[in-house]
Amino acid sequence: MKTILSAIDFSDCSINALEHAISIARASKSNLLMLWVNNPTNTKTILSSDLSDDLLEEVEHQFSRLISKYSSQLPDTKIDYIIREGKVYKEVVKQAKESDVWLIIAGTHGSSGFEELWMGSNANKIVTAAPCPVITIRAGIPIERHLENIVMPLDSTPETRQKVPFTCDLAAMFDAEVHILAVFTNNVDEIRSFVKTYAKQAAEYLKKNNVKHRIVEIEAENLSTSTIEYAQQVEANLISIMTEQEKTATNIWLGPYAQQMVHHSPIPVLSIHPKELEISLGL
Q: What is the DSSP letter of 50?
A: -
Q: Which residues pair with 37 in a beta bridge?
A: 84
pLDDT of residue 283: 41
At 43 the pLDDT is 54
Q: What is the pLDDT of residue 60?
A: 92
Handedness of CA 15, 19, 21, 26 (dihedral sign): positive
Domains along the chain? 3-137 (3.40.50.620), 149-272 (3.40.50.620)
Contact 251, 169 (CB under 8 A): no
Say how many residues make up the chain: 283
Q: Which residues of the chain have pLDDT under 70?
A: 40-53, 110-124, 140-144, 244-257, 276-283
Classify strands 269-272 and 134-137 as parallel, antiparallel or unpaired: antiparallel
User: Residues 153, 191: contact at Cβ < 8 Å?
Assistant: no
Q: List, in sequence order, every beta strand (DSSP E) within 17-71.
A: 31-38
Q: How far apart are CA 149 and CA 272, in angstroms?
A: 18
Give pLDDT, residue 144: 63
Q: Pick from 267, 262, 11, 269: which is nearest to 118 by CA? A: 262
pTM of the complete model: 0.87
Reference 238, options 119, 134, 93, 162; nearest CA is 134
What angle do helix axes 223-233 and 256-264 make, rounded to 10 degrees?
A: 40
DSSP code per residue over 130-178 = -SS-EEEE-TT----SS--EEEEEE-SSGGGGGGHHHHHHHHHHHTPEE
- The one-letter amino acid code at 221 reads E
pLDDT in the model for residue 114: 55
Helices 164-174, 12-28: crossing angle, 10 deg rounding:
80
**d(C-alpha 131, C-alpha 72), whole Å:** 29
